[in-house]
Structure 1
Amino acid sequence: MRDINIPLPIARTLLSPIFRITLNARLPWQLQRLLLDIGSRAQFLPSDTTVHRLRLGGRPAERITAGPQLPSRTRGAVLYLHGGGYAIGSLATHRSLAARLAHETGCAVYVLDYRLAPEHPFPAGLDDAEAAFLELVGNIGYRPEQIALSGDSAGGGLSLATAQRLIAGHGYTPAALGLIAPWVDPNQVPEQSRDLVINRPWSRACAAAYLGDGDGKDTGYAPLHGVLAGLPPTYVQVDISEMLHAQCVEFVAALRVAGVPTRFIESQGLWHVAQLQAALVGPAAAALTELADFLREAIQPVALRDLG
C-alpha cells in the first residue's frame, strides 16, 4: 500500500478525539492497550517488509527487515523501545514505525515487548531492555557499537536509562541514541495541561504506575539526572507544541554540557510522536527519515570497517 499525505490541519482534527478517548486516565489500562492496538491497523507497513517473531532477553520481540533476506550483522541493528507511558503500547502499535526505520537505515530493527506497568513497575522494563541488548551481543553476535538504541516518549527515556546501565555495568556503549520526544524525568509535572496527544492526568497516572513502590530519585526511573557524560551521539526530536518540549530542551542542554554530540530537532506543526503516522502524513514521514538518517550515519562506519 502506498503512503498518503493527509494535510496537517485535517490530520490533527482527525487524531485529536482519538487520543482524547484512548489516553484517558479513567479508562482501565487493558482497554487503553486494546484501543491503541486496534487503531494501529491504520499504520500500514511499507511493501517488502519481513517481520520475524522471536524472543530477546526472555521477552517477545520482532525483528523487522526490508526484504525477505536474513539481516547481515555487518550492517548493524537498531533496538527499538516503544512509547506509551510505560503502561501501554505494543509490538503492534510501533510495527509500522519500526518497519520504516528498517527500510531507511538498511538495518534490522528489533522491537521489544518489555513488561508494562502497573502490573510490572520499575525496574521491570529497564531490566528487559538491558537483557535484550545483552542477548543481541552475546547470542546473536552484534558488537555493542553496532547497535543503536532508539525509542519514543517513555521508550526514549527507557533507551537513555538502558544506555546508562550498559555503560556503567558492562562497559558497552551503543552506536547511538535516537530519541523521539523522550520522557527522561517522569517526576516533572508539566505546566501545560495537554497537547494534541497527551494530557496531564494521564501522564501523572502513567508516572505513578511505572514508579510503583520505587524511589523517584532513582536515575533508572529519571535518567535525566543520571550520568550523561560518555553517552554516544544522540538525536532528540520534539515538537514545540508538546508537553514534553521544555523537558527535552533541558535534556539537550544537559547533554551538551556533558560533551555528548547531540542533534536537536524542534519541529513546528506536528504532535507527540507524529512519526507513528508517517504512512499517513508527509511531514511525519520526513521527521522519521531524519531519525533514520542519523541512525544510519552512526552505524554505517562500523559496517564499512567490517567490509573493508
Structure 2
Amino acid sequence: MPEVTLPLPVARIALNPVFRLLMNHRLPFTVQRALMNWGSVAQRSPRGTHVDRIRLGGRPAERVTLGPVSDAATVLYLHGGGYTVGSPATHRALAAFLARETGCAVQVLDYRLAPEHPYPAALDDAEAAFLELVASGFEPERIAVSGDSAGGGLSLALAERLRDRHAFVPAALGLIAPWGDPNEVPSRSRDLVINRPWSRQCAAAYLGGGDGNDSGYAPLLDDLHGLPPTYVQADVDEMLHDQCTRLVAKLRAAGVDTRFTETEGLWHVSQLQASLIEPAAAITRELGEFLRQALRPAQTRSTG
C-alpha cells in the first residue's frame, strides 16, 4: 500500500492543473524540464531506496535498488516525456517500485532529448546502454527493458533494433502506454495528462529532419515478429489507448506472448503516482511481477 492514499477523484482534481502547467506547448522545453524535476519530489520512493549515479552507454544514468538485488539480472528503464522532457529524477520513484518488485537493479538512462538531439539520438543511446550491460556480464535474456509513453515507444524500437542488428532478445518488454507511432494525430484534444498541441510539438521536435516512416522513429510500423514477451498497460480514457490496442493486436498477430491490462479511472502513466494512489500502486506491482517472472533463469530464446 502507498504511505498516503488519495481517493481517485481527489487525485484527479489535484493533478489536473499540474499537468496543464507542465505539458504546455507555450513553455520552452528547458522550463518544462526544470518544473518536472522540481515537482518529482512529490513522488516519494519506497523506504530503503538506494540510488547510484553511474554512466551507461556513455550517458548519465541512475542505478536504483531496494534491498538485496540479483547480480545476474537487471531492468533497463527508459523514461517518458515525449522525447523532449523527463529524466531519471522524474522517474526515480517508479524505478524504485519496480526494483522492489523485481529484486533487481533498475537502470534508468538519461538519454539525449529533442529538440537539441532529435531522432535517432535517443535510440542510439538506448542501444549503447543495452550493449554495455551485455559487455558488463549480463546475458541479453536476463535484461528486461521497460518504459512509459515515449520511453515505451523507445523500448519497442530498441527491441526491434537489437533483434535486427545484434540477434539479441531481451527477457521482456514492460510497456506503460507506449507511444509507438508519433506520426499519428490523436482524435481527442486532451486527456488528464497529455494534450494534442504538446504531443504534436514533441513529435516534430523528435523527428527533426528525419523520415516519419522510419520504424526506429515509429516502431509500431515495424515487423514485430521475434520480440520477447510483452506486457502493455494503458487506461481506457487516455489519448494513447487506441494506439496501444492496435499494438497489442499486432503483437499477438506476430506470435508475441502479449499481456494487456486496461485500467479504468486512472490516467496516462499513473504508475508515477504509485506512492500516493493504491490503484496505481497495484498496476505497478503487476508490472514488476511480470518483469520478475521474465528475469528468472530461462533457456536462451532465438530470434527466429
Q: TM-score, normalised by structure 1?
A: 0.95
SS for the counterpart of 1:301 is coil
Partner of 1:250: 246
Q: CA RMSD in A?
A: 1.2
Matches within 5 A, 1:222-261: 222-261=218-257
Match for 1:9: what amino acid? P
The correspondence for 1:133, drawn from 130, 142, 147, is 130
Aligned pairs for 1:1-308 (under 5 A) are 3-67=3-67, 71-74=69-72, 76-138=73-135, 140-302=136-298
How far apart are residue 44 of structure 1 and its match?
1.1
Give 3-state SS (helix, strand or coil) of 1:73's partner: strand
1:87 deviation in Å?
A: 0.2
Contact 2:6/2:276 (CA < 8 Å) preserved in 1? yes
Q: Give the CA deviation at 1:234.
A: 0.2
The answer as to whether partners of 1:197 and 1:271 remain within 8 angstroms in 2 is yes
Aligned twin of 2:302: none
Residue 72 of structure 1: how far off its partner (Å): 3.2
1:43-72 CA-to-partner distances (Å, cap 9, x unmatched) read 1111111111110010000111112x5x43
- Tell me the CA shift for residue 295 of structure 1: 0.5
Whole-Å separation in 2 of the counterparts to 1:258 and 1:275: 28
Provide, for residues 88-140 of structure 1, a one-character-per-residue CA deviation record: whole Å limited to 9, x for no partner.
000110000001100111011000000000000000000000000000001x2
Question: Is 1:73–1:141's contact at 8 Å kept on the other side of the alignment?
Answer: no
Residue 302 of structure 1 deviates from its aligned partner by 3.6
Q: Deviations over 1:22-54 (max 9, x none)?
A: 100000000000111111000111111111111
Q: Do the aligned residues in 2 keep the contact of 1:181 with 1:237 (CA within 8 Å)?
A: yes
Q: Per-residue displacement from partner, 1:213-243 (whole Å, max 9, x unpaired)?
A: 0000000000001120000000000000000
Q: Which letter does structure 2 place at the counterpart of 1:95? A: R
Structure 2 residues without counterparts, runs of 5 or longer: 300-304
Q: Which moved more, 1:175-184 or 1:38-47?
A: 38-47
Helix, strand or coil at the partner of 2:296: helix
Structure 1: gaps spanning 5 or more residues? 304-308
- Supply the AA of the counterpart residue of 1:160: L
Offset, 1:301: 3.3
1:265-290 Cα distance to aligned partner (Å, 9 max, x none):
00000000000000000000001011
Q: Report runs of 4+ in structure 1 exceeding 3 Å deviation.
A: none
Work out the percentage of aligned pairs sharing the same amino acid.
67
CA distance in 2, matches of 1:260, 1:167: 13
Query: Residues of 2 paired with 1:286 and 1:4: CA distance?
Result: 14
Aligned equivalents of 2:43, 2:18: Cα separation in 1: 14
